[in-house]
Amino acid sequence: MNERILVTGGTGYIGSHTTVELIEEGYDVVICDNLSNSNRGVVDGIEAITGRRPIFVEADCADPVAMRKLMEDYPGIKAIINFAASKAVGESVSKPLLYYRNNLNILINLLELMPEFGIRGFVFSSSCTVYGEPDRNPVDETSPIKAATSPYGNTKQISEEIITDYIRSGAGIKSIILRYFNPVGAHPSALIGELPNGVPQNLIPYLTQTAIGIRPELSVFGNDYNTPDGSCIRDFINVVDLAKAHVVAARRMLSDESSDDIEIFNLGTGNGVSVLELINTFREATGVDVPYKIVGRREGDIEKVWADPSRANNVLGWKATTPLADTLLSAWNWQLQLRKRGIM
Ligand code: UD1
């Protein structure tokens, strides 16, 4: 029988792409999602790509009764990949308790149930936000953790500590913590992608919605940073490349490839790209000019951050390979697909 993996937040942006990669590698996936920021149509998209429909359970991962029932109904789960979390930086500043309650309750709930149900591995979605404004770039995993600039970022730091403390207590589980840089793009089939509710807060969905005419222009937050063109620099990583790293991480834990019970990896390309460069690459890749204006800095933004992904490259044998132009084209094709289906 194929090994069974629980993907929480599996109808979300990164969760859905990871589910596709897991199914394609022969895993049996159970998705748990409360659809707070996604919809059940995503399961159809996953099935259309892979030819297999994952089990879908609509439930709140912070609900211990519901999660116990899920584990009883679908026995034999070997690992959990935990994407379920609130992730809007700005919203976390205005609703901190929502973020602490949701993100930490989900984590504690899942960790607590793992030993009882014999679940060995836990992959956790963390973020480069834990490095804050780094002293040097690129940042490797030994770079200092900086004071969080938002409650969202703080939940990632606290979550990493909770996982570490739990494993040190002899819980008998293993964990791989993945620190994502900026995941972007969509599946090349354009059957799944990023679908934020309301006005997008992140750069790529705002950019593609502007390109298709939903928004009149993109605001570039600041051109007076200490960078070559004055705009912020990020490490934009293709979401399918990112998803594949989760498959490698799950396999590594389940096959006991490492004697370490807890490992941390940066997931990025190793290339820093500025916001203005990205707009330019989008135009070159798609032929679509995106109207933009320079506005003031956005509060809480990091000036520049990009990954040293050597540890993931060498230890996991994983590398981000998709060129940025192809990634941006995939984001654009997804936006066109949404229009075709009358969704946006
Ligand atoms: C942030 C978080 C990250 C989180 C991610 C997902 C921090 C430091 N980073 O990433 O942890 O995982 O959101 O929600 O907390 N930009 C514009 N115009 C726009 C939108 C963005 O110029 O309309 C610029 C931003 O100023 C930034 C870059 O584009 O320089 C990327 O922004 P965004 O996509 O929001 O991601 P981060 O802020 O890097």
For 83-107, write each residue's pLDDT tens digit: 999 999 989 999 999 999 999 999 9
Catalytic residue status for 152: yes
User: How far is 134 from 142, CA to CA, in rounded Å?
Assistant: 11
Model confidence at 1: pLDDT above 70: no
Give residue-wise pLDDT tens across range 237-258: 999 999 999 999 999 999 999 9
Which residues have any ligand 1 atom within 6 Å of their CB? 87, 89, 127, 129, 150, 153, 182, 201-203, 206, 218-221, 232, 234, 275, 298, 301-302
For atom 26 of ligand 1, the residue with the nearest CA is: 221
For atom 38 of ligand 1, the residue with the nearest CA is: 301
The per-residue DSSP string of 187-252 comes to -TTSSS----SSS--SHHHHHHHHHTTSSS-EEEE-S-SSSTTSS-EE-EEEHHHHHHHHHHHHHH
Between the CA of 312 and the centroid of ligand 1 the distance, in Å, is: 23
Q: How confident is residue 300, by pLDDT bands cut at 50, 70 and 90?
A: confident
DSSP lists the bridge partners of residue 123 as 81, 176
Q: What is the pLDDT of residue 265?
A: 98
Q: What is the pLDDT of residue 197?
A: 82
Q: Alpha carbon 151 to chain centroid distance?
A: 17
Task: Read off the pLDDT of each residue in 146-166 and give the average, rounded to a whole number.
Answer: 96
Q: How confident is residue 127, by pLDDT bands cut at 50, 70 and 90?
A: very high
Element containing residue 95 per DSSP (H, E):
none
Task: Read off the pLDDT of each residue in 19-23 and give the average, rounded to a whole number.
Answer: 98
Task: Read off the pLDDT of each residue in 177-183 and give the average, rounded to a whole number.
Answer: 98
Cβ partners under 8 Å of residue 314, min gap 6: none
Give the position, in ligand 1's atom list, of the atom nearest the Cα of 297.
26
Q: Average per-residue pLDDT in the chain? A: 97
Task: Read off the pLDDT of each residue in 121-131 and give the average, rounded to a whole number.
Answer: 98
Q: How confident is residue 2, by pLDDT bands cut at 50, 70 and 90?
A: confident
Q: What is the pLDDT of residue 44?
A: 98
- In this structure, the chain runs to a length of 344
Task: Read off the pLDDT of each residue in 268-276 and give the average, rounded to a whole number.
Answer: 98
User: How far is 200 from 193, CA to CA, in rounded Å?
Assistant: 14
Phi, psi (deg, nearest 5) at residue 309:
-90, 20
Between the CA of 57 and the centroid of ligand 1 the distance, in Å, is: 31
Between the CA of 202 and the centroid of ligand 1 the distance, in Å, is: 5
28-33/55-58 β-pairing? parallel
Between the CA of 86 and the centroid of ligand 1 the distance, in Å, is: 15
Query: Quick count: other Cβ atoms within 10 Å of Cβ 317?
Result: 9
Give the 3-state secondary structure of residue 262.
strand
Sign of CA dihedral 45, 47, 50, 56: positive
User: How far is 323 from 237, CA to CA, in rounded Å?
Assistant: 9
Decide if 151 contacts 99 (C-beta within 8 A). Answer: yes
Q: What percent of the chain has pLDDT over 70?
A: 100
121-127/28-33 β-pairing? unpaired
- Which of 1-10, 178-187, 222-231, 266-275 comes out lowest in average pLDDT? 1-10
Give the position, in ligand 1's atom list, of the atom nearest the Cα of 233.
30
Annotated catalytic residue: which of 131, 152, 166, 206?
152
Q: What is the pLDDT of residue 335?
A: 98
Residue type at 337 in one-letter notation? Q
In Å, how far are 14, 104, 177, 260, 312 from 264, measured between CA atoms? 18, 19, 5, 10, 9
Strands (E), the chain: 4-8, 28-33, 55-58, 77-82, 121-127, 174-180, 182-184, 218-221, 233-234, 236-238, 262-267, 273-274, 292-295
Q: How confident is residue 6, by pLDDT bands cut at 50, 70 and 90?
A: very high
Decide if 319 contacts 309 (C-beta within 8 A). Answer: yes
Give the position, in ligand 1's atom list, of the atom nearest the Cα of 156.
11
